[in-house]
């Protein structure tokens, strides 16, 4: 189960355009303070001209630089995002193009479990590295959430921001102990329709957009139902994941959670019994950046020196599906 | 590099609606015989009411039955398709729902490298199985190509069909020799725009469909450019993959190629020097079913008893990206 891989470097990119809670209060006709109080988000970023691949490429360059790895040394590029730049081809190929690697042959593909995409990608790609298939893998999560927001659902639209985060993963050198200790994922599709965008694929094609299907192309979330199902499952899920890793809650230097919402983070912490200083909470100045939230919080924790080599970390999140996912690793 | 996994069972589903070459000749105002001659496709299937998840679930049930594995024994469901049913959540969760497994917790996620999605999924998931993370993985490729065809590009629209194929992959029992011998993938994004659907993601949102962007939501293919780039690369790619596997072309009982087009299959065979009886060609009565083509051709080869346990097989294809991918395995 253990896989000797090391997170060599991380990077992030945020669009220049900052959208404040006050701006959304006004735009949505809400009482001053409503957005920040309900979402826990003071500012989030929205793209202006950036594409997902451009944001991902900048985050990737920063991650490679932090890792001390040249882009040409990468032997796989995985895009792990809940949104795609275009239907065909996969976003990873478009990131390869933005990175100036278009003649290198470095394999590119996408892994998608919505908000858990990064966790899923790290999990399976660490196995591919353990099997010797790859040596230095770039995982990029790049999300333009602002494109699909549902302005009729004020509870959800105030949560999200755009941005990208990237991690270069390598094999652990001899004599070092960085590794993935254990991982787990569970999907309960009884909650498959608790958060969804029904349109855009082969079921409700974009040609139907203007025929009264606008709502099918916006994010539709039932926060109450998600909360109820997640609450039933999360404690058992985390206990079993930590038991499998033989790591106690106290041994975790940091918990890197998906930044679902300010409230979700508070409830997760108290329900699971983590200390406030263990939780990496970047919600207030990033918002929920879909799959980029976890690697971005990881990047912030590393940049702020809240975690050091040898520390035990827990990556933990929930996603549309409805899924729970987590990885215990030694950084 | 070797991974001791066994393809336990396969299944396929084709929609009831059959579309003949003659029907397309008439619909497109082409000379009688043009469609079949150009595409190599006599009949293909289009969905009427089926969703991608419904097709995938039927193929999956048949694969599980062939494998002698109950659905509850699966411990991972991967959807490996070039098209998605809806933007959120991933199609694998929707397949889990259709399979009646919505309270099981079986993890679900999507892997996408367009037409190579199945090959990529089998490659990385066999590593996850080798690492002990999963024991019995369901990989489903389910495609509704007919939804995004470009009726202005007669060369491409006549190639495609809808359908699904599924494979249950398990760990190889002691004393048996089924295994993945070697695998390879290469992506050259200099060809990223040789075949694409630009719309539907965060770059050209469905809300722009009616504003003169209709063409961005249809499949746009430059067959000549794809042919030129692929021709430069494919021989070296296959030679190196077979060399890595220490398997000669003669030792391959069957080559399971992506069914790109009738011409592509002929050129691939002559260029690579395979014998006609080695090539599994299901183009004439299926068309190009995107990522479902390779597992569907595999299913046909197994069903027709063209391959038996112990045989060496080559899965081989190209995809948008532009990517080449292949796996040498002992069935």
My answer on whether B201 and B253 are in the same domain is yes
User: DSSP letter at B204?
Assistant: S
pLDDT at B196: 95
Catalytic residue chosen out of the listed positions A45, A258, A286, A299: A258
| Least CB–CB distance from A190: residue in B84, B102, B198 | B102
For chain A, the average pLDDT equals 96
pLDDT of A131 reads 94
pLDDT confidence of residue B49: 95
Task: Give B70-112 pLDDT, tens digit per residue.
Answer: 999 999 999 999 999 999 999 999 999 999 999 999 999 999 9
Q: Are residues B183 and B161 in the same domain?
A: no
Which parts of chain B fold into alpha helices (H)?
21-27, 34-39, 52-67, 91-98, 117-130, 154-157, 223-245, 262-272, 283-286, 293-303
Residue-wise pLDDT for B164-181, tens only, equals 999 999 999 999 999 999
pLDDT recorded at residue B19: 97
Does A224 lie in the same domain as A89?
A: no
- How many Å apart are CA B331 and CA B325, to the nearest integer? 18
Check whether residue B284 and residue B151 sit in a common domain. Answer: no
Classified as helix, coil or strand, B221 is: strand
Q: Six-digit token pair at B331?
A: 């069935």
State which of B138, B171, B204 marks the end of a domain.
B171
Lowest mean pLDDT among A95-99, A232-236, B203-207: B203-207
Residues of B involved in catalysis: 115, 258, 288
Verify whether the Cβ–Cβ distance B103 to A204 is below 8 Å: no
Lowest mean pLDDT among A266-270, A287-291, B295-299, B316-320: A266-270
Statement: residue A4 has pLDDT above 90: yes
The domain tally of chain B equals 2
pLDDT at A184 over 90: yes
pLDDT value at residue A213: 86
State whether A206 and B200 contact (CB < 8 Å). yes
Angle (nearest 5°) at CA B173 between B171 and B177: 95
**Nearest CB to A203 within list B86, B107, B206:** B86
Residue with tokens 């770039």: A138
Inter-CA distances, A225 with A198, A271, A287, B101, Å:
18, 17, 21, 19
Average pLDDT rounded to a whole number, residues B240-250: 97
In whole angstroms, what is the distance from residue B296 CA to residue B293 CA? 5
Q: In this predicted structure, what is the pLDDT of residue A148?
A: 86
C-alpha pair distances (Å), A280 with each of A141, A229, A231, A255, B114: 18, 23, 20, 6, 36
A162 and A185, same domain (yes or no): no
* 265-324 in chain B: CB under 8 A from chain A: 319-323
Q: Please name the helix (run of DSSP H) or strand (run of DSSP E) that holds residue A312, with its range, or none.
A: strand A312-319
Range name among A81-95, A165-179, A198-212, B231-245 with the lowest pLDDT average: A198-212
pLDDT, tens digit, 9 for 90 and up, residues A24-33 = 999 999 999 9
**Full domain range(s) for residue A268:** 179-330
pLDDT value of residue B267: 87
Task: Give the total residue count for chain B.
Answer: 331
Query: Are residue B127 and residue B185 in the same domain, yes or no?
Result: no
Same domain, B47 and B126: yes
**Distance between CA atoms of residues A230 and A268, nearest Å:** 10
Q: How many H-runs (helices) and E-runs (strands) does chain B carry?
A: 10, 13
With pLDDT > 90 as the criterion, what percentage of chain B qualifies?
A: 91
Q: Distances in Å between the alpha carbon of A108 and those of A65, B200, B233, B234, B237? A: 20, 20, 16, 17, 16
Instruction: Read off the DSSP letter of residue A292.
Output: G
Q: Same domain, yes or no, for A199 and A82?
A: no
Report the CATH number that the domain containing residue A256 is assigned in CATH.
3.40.47.10
Together in a domain, B212 and B296: yes
Q: How far apart are CA A168 and CA A10, in angstroms?
A: 6
Q: Looking at residue B285, what DSSP letter applies?
A: H
Q: Which residues numbered 6-65 in B keep a CB inside 8 Å of some CB on A?
A: 51-52
- Rounded mean pLDDT of B9-18? 97
Q: A231 CB contacts (<8 Å, ≥6 apart)? A: A267, A271
**Residues B98 and B30 occupy one common structural domain:** yes
- What b/e sequence results for A174-197 when a residue is b if at least 16 CB atoms lie within 10 Å of its CB, and e otherwise? eeeebbbbbbbbbbbbbbbbbbbb
pLDDT band with cut points at 50, 70 and 90 for residue B290: very high
| Cα–Cα dist A4/A329, whole Å | 10
Is residue A112 part of the annotated active site? The answer reads: no
Q: What is the pLDDT confidence band of residue B302, given thresholds at 50, 70 and 90? A: very high
Which of A151, A185, A192 is best to mutate for the B interface (most B CBs within 10 A)?
A192
pLDDT of residue A267: 87
Inter-CA distances, B258 with A280, A285, B237, B286, B297, Å: 45, 46, 15, 12, 8
* pLDDT of B148 higher than 90: no
pLDDT exceeds 80 at position B1: no
Structure tokens at B215: 């063409």
Task: Give per-residue pLDDT as tens, A32-41.
Answer: 999 999 999 9
What's the confidence (pLDDT) of residue A207? 87
| DSSP line for B249-275 | GGGEEEEEE----HHHHHHHHHHHT--
What is the crossing angle of helices A262-272 and A223-245, to 10°? 40
Asked casually if ipTM beats, i.e. exceeds, 0.95, the reply is: yes
Show Cβ contacts of residue B194 under 8 Å, excluding neighbours closer than 6 positions. B221, B222, B225, B226, B229, B320, B322
Minimum CA–CA partner of B212 in chain A: A207
Chain A from 74 to 133: CB within 8 A of any B CB = 77, 82-94, 96-97, 101-114, 116-117, 120, 123-128, 130-133
Judged against a pLDDT cut of 80, whether residue B329 lies above it is answered with yes
Looking at A104, A138, A171, which one is the last position of a domain? A171
B262 and B116, same domain (yes or no): no
Cα dihedral sign for A149, A283, A91, B287?
negative
Residues A135 and A42 in one domain: yes
Alpha helix (H) residue ranges in chain A: 21-27, 34-39, 52-67, 91-98, 117-130, 154-157, 223-245, 262-272, 283-286, 293-303
Is residue B53's pLDDT more than 80?
Answer: yes
Q: What is the mean pLDDT of chain B?
A: 96
Which residue, of B171, B187, B208, is where some domain finishes? Answer: B171
User: B-chain residues within 8 Å CB-CB of A84?
Assistant: 200-202
Confidence of residue B211 (pLDDT cuts 50, 70, 90): confident
């Amino acid at each position: 189960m253990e896989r000797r891989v090391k997170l060599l470097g991380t990077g992030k990119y945020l669009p220049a355009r900052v959208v404040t809670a006050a701006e959304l209060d006004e735009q949505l006709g809400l009482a001053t303070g409503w957005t920040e109080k309900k979402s826990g988000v003071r500012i989030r970023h929205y793209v202006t001209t950036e594409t997902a691949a451009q944001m991902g490429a900048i985050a990737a360059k920063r991650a490679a630089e932090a890792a001390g790895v040249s882009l040409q040394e990468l032997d796989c590029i995985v895009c792990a995002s809940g949104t795609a730049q275009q239907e065909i081809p996969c976003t990873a190929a478009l990131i390869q193009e933005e990175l100036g690697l278009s003649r290198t042959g470095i394999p590119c593909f996408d892994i998608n479990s919505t908000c858990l995409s990064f966790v899923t990608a790290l999990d399976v790609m660490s196995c591919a590295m353990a099997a010797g298939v790859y040596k230095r893998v770039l995982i990029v999560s790049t999300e333009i959430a602002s494109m699909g927001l549902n302005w009729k659902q004020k509870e959800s639209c105030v949560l999200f921001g755009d941005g990208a985060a990237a991690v270069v993963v390598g094999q652990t050198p001899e004599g070092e102990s960085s590794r993935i200790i254990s991982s787990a994922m569970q999907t309960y599709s009884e909650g498959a329709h608790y958060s969804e965008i029904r349109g855009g694929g082969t079921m409700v094609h974009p040609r139907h957009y203007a025929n009264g299907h606008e709502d099918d192309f916006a994010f539709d979330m039932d926060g109450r139902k998600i909360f109820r199902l997640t609450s039933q499952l999360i404690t058992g899920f985390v206990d079993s994941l930590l038991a499998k890793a033989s790591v106690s809650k106290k041994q975790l230097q940091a918990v890197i959670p998906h930044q679902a919402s300010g409230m979700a983070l508070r409830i997760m912490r108290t329900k699971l019994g983590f200390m406030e200083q263990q939780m990496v909470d970047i919600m207030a100045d990033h918002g929920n950046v879909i799959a980029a939230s976890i690697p971005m919080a990881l990047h912030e924790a590393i940049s702020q020196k809240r975690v050091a080599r040898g520390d035990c970390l827990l990556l933990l999140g929930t996603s549309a599906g409805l899924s729970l996912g987590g990885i215990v690793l030694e950084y």
